[in-house]
Amino acid sequence: MLSPLADRTYRRIFLAQVLSLLGTGLATVALGLLAYDIACADAGVVLGTALAIKMVAYVGIAPVAGAFVHLLPRRTLLVALDLLRAAVAVLLPFVTETWQVYLLIFVLQAGSAAFTPTFQATIPDILPEEAEYTKALSLSRLAYDLESLASPAIAAALLGLVGFHWLFGLNALGFLASAVLVASLVLPSPAPPAPGEGAWTRTTRGARLYLATPRLRGLLALNLSVAAAGAMVIVNTVVLVRAGFGLGQSEVAWTLAAYGLGSMAAALALPRLLGERLSDRTAMLAGAALLVAGLLAAPAAPSWAALLPIWALLGLGNGLVLTPSGRLLRRSAHPGDRPALFAAQFALSHACWLVTYPLAGRLGALAGLAVTCLMLAALAAIGMAVAAWAWPRHDTEEVEHTHRGLPPDDAHLVGAEPVAEGGFRHRHVLVIDFRHPHWPG
């Protein structure tokens, strides 16, 4: 699984991702504690609203960034966005009002909305071979999972020495280190999109490609399952551990670490399983089932010790769903459309979080955490059921289909056979493009 690290460019950009994630993880712990410091028992409401604002930035800005990312050098854009996020992280320790939290979170996440899909679309250009790219996806997922595990552990250790405000400063250092590493690289230029498209067409192109592809419609439904479980973990862990079990800041960090440990287990196992042994569809639907089971089990946890394995189960389900998602995106678009498609995944998946974050926060405050778990479990089950229906069981890359609108001398029809009812029929690896605006069948 470590062979992609032999590539110098990927090795450095992966390290930049790890440092950025580590800083962000520390800030996630600090943000929950900051919300509790400002609002006490209403911390779930404040944190849920702040994270909903984050999702608004993601949903609104990512498609625009994906449409125009080809106009700037990747390195320049990524470094500038790291510096913007570092500046905001420096300001967060000084907030005293909830509106200040909301404003800074929006600016911070607007930078992330442009950074993350640009970064993700760069990896398949650095590692064009599918086997190496699959390993890189697992490494990327592992980085997220190690962050989920290491950041709370580091935060727990630091909180015994310093106040949580210092964690925001470490977040800023992570962004600065990421900027330095990216600045030292020569990154491949993105393939240009189709010529002659207007701004609106480019902005919506990724979403149109995404929603026209059956496997990606299934992925969108699974994103809802991930968001339902993830919102419960991120929004209400601090309330559940501190107000529910009467424990301290360190136990909050260790509970989040259990979630990260479960997700890390999935990232380590999947490179050996995906492909001949296990299809992407099977692994991802199994992950969604674990998310539903974990949410149903959570209200019955009698103690903090019983909660930890449930959070690990939710992390395992999260990893099983998210790790293979980049494989689906890579195989569903031409290289020139990948930035738009990755941006669409970023925006549409976070649209699911835009629903679940405030739901987890406000429902937890009004109806209690047990009812919240059950409602989110129902939402995760709906996502799993829709995914199983929308994503065909036999999802082959090569698809037989008929062209009726193309001229007979079109180069795309070389080798195609004419059909009696008109048109030409052939079979090849199919993605949505101007020759294939709709999925066959």
Using 50, 70 and 90 to split pLDDT, how confident is the model at 28? low
Domains along the chain with CATH numbers: 3-390 (1.20.1250.20)
Tell me how many helices (H) and strands (E) the chain has: 14, 3
**The pLDDT of residue 88:** 85
Q: Which residues on adjacent β-strands are paired with residue 401?
A: 426
pTM across the whole model = 0.74
- pLDDT tens per residue across span 45-55: 666 677 677 77
AA identity, residue 302? P
- pLDDT tens per residue across span 368-418: 889 999 999 999 999 999 999 999 988 777 788 788 777 877 778 777 788
Give CA torsion, residues 434, 435, 438, 441, to 10 deg: -170
Identity of the highest mean pLDDT range in 271-280, 289-298, 392-401: 289-298
What are the backbone angles phi and psi of residue 282, rounded to the nearest 5°? -65, -45
**Mean of pLDDT values over 326-337:** 81
Q: What is the 3-state secondary structure (H, E, C) of 376-436?
A: HHHHHHHHHHHHHHHCCCCCCCEEEEEECCCCCCCHHHCCCEECCCCCEEEEEECCCCCCC
DSSP state of 190: P
Measured distance CA(425)–CA(379) in Å, rounded: 41
What are the tokens at 108?
Answer: 């911070």
User: In which residue are the tokens 């650095």 written?
Assistant: 126
Cβ neighbours, 10 Å, residue 246: 9
26 in Cβ contact with 170 (< 8 Å): yes
- pLDDT tens per residue across span 113-159: 777 777 777 787 787 776 777 677 777 766 765 665 566 566 666 66
Element containing residue 55 per DSSP (H, E) = helix 43-68
What are the tokens at 296?
Answer: 């149903």
- pLDDT tens per residue across span 66-111: 666 666 777 888 888 889 888 888 888 787 777 777 787 788 778 8
Higher pLDDT: 30 or 245? It is 245
**The pLDDT of residue 13:** 81
Q: Which of 291, 259, 295 is nearest to 371 (CA)?
A: 295
Q: 123: which residues sit within 8 A by CB, 6+ positions away?
A: 10, 13, 133, 136, 137, 140, 326
Measured distance CA(316)–CA(262) in Å, rounded: 4
Q: Which of 13, 14, 17, 18 is nearest to 185 (CA)?
A: 13
Identity of the highest mean pLDDT range in 148-152, 157-161, 294-298, 345-349: 294-298
Using 50, 70 and 90 to split pLDDT, how confident is the model at 40? low
What are the tokens at 99?
Answer: 């509106």
Cβ neighbours, 10 Å, residue 99: 8
267 in Cβ contact with 145 (< 8 Å): yes
